[in-house]
Chain A
């Protein structure tokens, strides 16, 4: 089983990101389980969403405490929340940031990747300049760095699950796929 935790702020689409990725894995024959952190979060407040994938039916029905990978929609969460809590050693931390992965060297013992999903979203007219919707772009980057799920499945899932601007969302995901940069931080 692989467990993924999404960090974002209320309104950024962490829950939709988890659902779209779930559908992408589902199209590749996986069993999936996608859920938001069951809270009473408000717009702008730190939120989480979760995804389990497995080749077997998923019976486990509890929160994810020790994720394999993290997807971070908002870099301002680093330092603001206990981001790496429970994260397994050498797990991926995929961050939406214009900075290179080296800028996040402080997150020791994990693999870091960054993609400027905010600029990509703005270029494709997703959301507004002040509140860009980055959740589809970042999934393209996820496909590239982890190699766990194909870009075709991500594309299909976006077309099925995202209510509007389907072409723009797909293009944003493809662009993020090409632009993501990754660095392995082996030292702990």
Chain B
């Protein structure tokens, strides 16, 4: 059934269709309408899910860690400061190997206070052991939640599904909402590897000496290394049921382009128009959408960029003192390989400033007309 819904409603549909049993969350703009929708359905008895009210995001994640440990599928959503406040528990969720799925609606972190789109919140959690998936439209948001539970429950790592504040969260567009029966055929009930039985009390995550701790971390890394293959299989199955696929990355535009534009989130959507227009003008350019940030799809990107001389990366985030985070990850990923394209690292749209087609075009023209970037960080749309 196709319906005109917001990104946040698409999240709520994804959660309902995944038969999530426990939701715990604390409100924060622009995420709030997700849990508003879910809590209303639960209060009206239309959703057989337990909603745990908590006093903070830290407690929301702590509650899910309890729920997931005893073996139920669970969900939370947050943004910005809420995600930052959860930080300690994010490590706990991945360290305890819990397949929790969370939505983060990308929002800048203050001060100065700002509620608009900016990836600095989720990207500053990159070392917490969570898989991170960035979405381009509301359909992808819903589909990614369904896939996220499958992936999380196979590799036993938590997944963060990320969407841009307002540009998706509060924007309504047509979304094909699958039926419960269709989703049931794709997403089986969660079967925990170590179910908790009240008759058999156990203690989890107790103190672990240097003799054992090291191997626990090694296993998380090994699980991360499985994500590419597992995601591919999950998406193959998803395609059979729903005829849609996204990939860890997606290359679009010219076949043998010298210049590639790399983007994530909704910037990709606008970039598709710009790349199409420039190709029509005879400019040899292509785009690469990066959907999965963790684990970083180094192999997939190396494959996709073969033959390109230049990469223009647009980051809607800033790691002060370094630059754009996607650009940095890309440099690290490509360093061991043979392909060494020149990387142009653009920063744009911080705190929700529009990344317009004109700015994207400006970035492409800059990269075309320079053999090397004049500066490490190229500021796109900065007021001077």
Contact = CB atoms under 8 A, between A and B. Distances in A.
B188 to A, nearest CB: 32
Contacts, number: 57
Contacts of A22: 4, 172
Contacts of B165: 38
Interface in B156-208: 165-167, 170-174
B273 interface: yes
B354 interface: yes
Nearest to B166: A38
A23 interface: yes
B167 A34 contact: no
Interface in B139-170: 165-167, 170
B273 A60 contact: yes
Contacts of B272: 59
B314 to A, nearest CB: 13
A61 B349 CA distance: 12
Given A58-B173, A61-B266, A35 B4 contact: no
B170 A62 contact: no
B354 A19 contact: no
A32 B172 CA distance: 8
Nearest to A38: B166
Task: Assign chain A's interface to a size class.
Answer: 10 to 19
B381 to A, nearest CB: 11
A35 B357 CA distance: 18
A31 B167 CA distance: 16
A36 B273 CA distance: 22
A6 to B, nearest CB: 13
Contacts of A23: 4
25 contacts: A19-B4, A19-B172, A22-B172, A26-B2, A31-B173, A31-B174, A32-B4, A34-B171, A34-B173, A35-B166, A35-B171, A35-B172, A36-B170, A38-B165, A38-B166, A40-B115, A58-B173, A59-B269, A59-B272, A60-B269, A60-B273, A61-B267, A61-B269, A62-B270, A63-B354
Interface of A: 19, 22-23, 26, 31-36, 38, 40, 58-63
**Which 6 interchain pairs have the tightest Cβ spacing?**
A38-B166, A35-B171, A34-B172, A61-B266, A62-B354, A59-B269
Given A32-B4, A38-B165, A62-B357, 13 more contacts: A22-B4, A23-B4, A32-B174, A33-B173, A34-B172, A35-B167, A38-B166, A38-B167, A38-B352, A40-B115, A58-B173, A59-B270, A59-B273
